[in-house]
């Protein structure tokens, strides 16, 4: 009967009334279970009152009722959405301590939260933790694509390409959204040549990439920093350091070194 009333409160979005009903359960000799807690926790997450969520989560442990994946994921997602990353990380720790392995949804919420506040170091650190997971927490194509999108939106294409490399090394192949995100960023400001050079380099077509780069320099077209950096780095890795230095010298003549 109490669960029916709680669900009715949820349908009517009456969080405070649901909490009142929830508090009455013990007076009638009814011990709240995980499902009852989840209904009320979800309502206060939707309401954005995370203080009540923390209180309810602690109460669960005190009476020997353990949160399940639903409890954790709903709470972690909402903590991240309202910018309470410390509380979200605290829940992940509690989750692990209780033997409940975070799934990809919980990790993704944290990852997105760190990106939104511009803490990309933490985001990459978390990605490393996800890649070590053997169960449901392993990153998927959506995880990697979201991180690439955030790097691109913050004008950090080099890091975005590094994530793409990392993605490939894990056997996770990019989809159409991943590629279109990178292409839009590389082609921004009508920088089509940069996108073309990067595309050639990523497909190991050094000959055509070299040809296009030389054409740009010959026609006084300043190559963008991303394309220049990747090309010169690849030349050095291939042992063609002198050729890399020649490009550097040519770029100095047309005053485009600051972009590297």
What are 142-184's pLDDT values in tens digits? Answer: 999 999 999 988 888 778 888 888 888 888 888 878 877 877 7
Quickly name the fold that domain 1-100 has. Answer: 1.25.40
225-237 and 206-218 helices cross at what angle (nearest 10)?
130
Look-up of token digits 């009715």: 8
Tokens of 164: 């793409």
pLDDT surpassing 90 at residue 124: yes
Task: Please tell me the pTM assigned to this model.
Answer: 0.64
Residues 6+ apart with CB under 8 A from 158: 226, 229
Other C-beta atoms within 10 Å of 199: how many? 17
What are 229-256's pLDDT values in tens digits? Answer: 878 888 888 898 888 888 888 888 777 6
- Are 223 and 197 within 8 A, CB to CB? yes
Burial class (CB in 10 A: 0-12, 13-18, 19+), 56: buried
pLDDT at 259: 59
Q: Which of 128, 156, 171 is nearest to 225 (CA)?
A: 156
Q: Categorize the per-residue pLDDT at 194 as very low, low, confident or very high, splitting at 50, 70 and 90.
A: low
Domain ranges of the chain: 1-100, 202-260
Distance CA 92, CA 85 (A): 11
Radius of gyration of the chain (CA): 26
Distance CA 42, CA 65 (A): 16
pLDDT surpassing 90 at residue 16: yes
Look-up of token digits 């073309």: 196
176-186 and 192-202 helices cross at what angle (nearest 10)?
130
What are 69-85's pLDDT values in tens digits? Answer: 888 888 888 888 888 88
Dihedral sign for Cα atoms in the order 58, 117, 173, 230:
negative
Residue 138 host element (H or E): none
């Amino acid at each position: 009967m109490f669960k029916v009333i709680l669900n009715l409160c949820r349908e009517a979005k009456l969080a405070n009334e649901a909490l009142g009903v929830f508090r009455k359960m013990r007076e009638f000799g009814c011990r709240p279970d995980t499902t009852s807690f989840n209904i009320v926790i979800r309502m206060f997450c939707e309401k954005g009152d995370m203080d009540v969520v923390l209180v309810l989560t602690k109460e669960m442990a005190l009476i020997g009722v353990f949160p399940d994946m639903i409890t954790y994921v709903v709470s972690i997602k909402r903590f991240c959405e309202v910018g309470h990353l410390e509380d979200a990380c605290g829940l992940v720790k509690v989750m692990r301590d209780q033997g409940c392995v975070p799934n990809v949804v919980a990790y993704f919420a944290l990852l997105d939260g760190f990106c939104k506040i511009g803490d990309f170091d933490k985001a990459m650190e978390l990605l490393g933790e996800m890649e070590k997971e053997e169960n449901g927490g392993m990153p998927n194509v959506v995880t990697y694509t979201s991180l690439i999108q955030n790097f691109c939106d913050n004008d950090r294409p080099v890091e975005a390409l590094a994530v793409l490399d990392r993605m490939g090394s894990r056997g996770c192949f990019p989809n159409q959204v991943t590629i279109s995100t990178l292409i839009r960023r590389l082609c921004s400001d009508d920088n089509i040549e940069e996108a073309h050079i990067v595309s050639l380099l990523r497909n190991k077509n050094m000959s055509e990439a070299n040809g296009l780069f030389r054409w740009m320099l010959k026609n006084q077209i300043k190559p963008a920093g991303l394309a220049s950096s990747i090309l010169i780095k690849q030349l050095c890795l291939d042992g063609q350091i002198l050729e890399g230095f020649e490009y550097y010298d040519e770029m100095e003549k047309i005053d485009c070194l600051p972009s590297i």
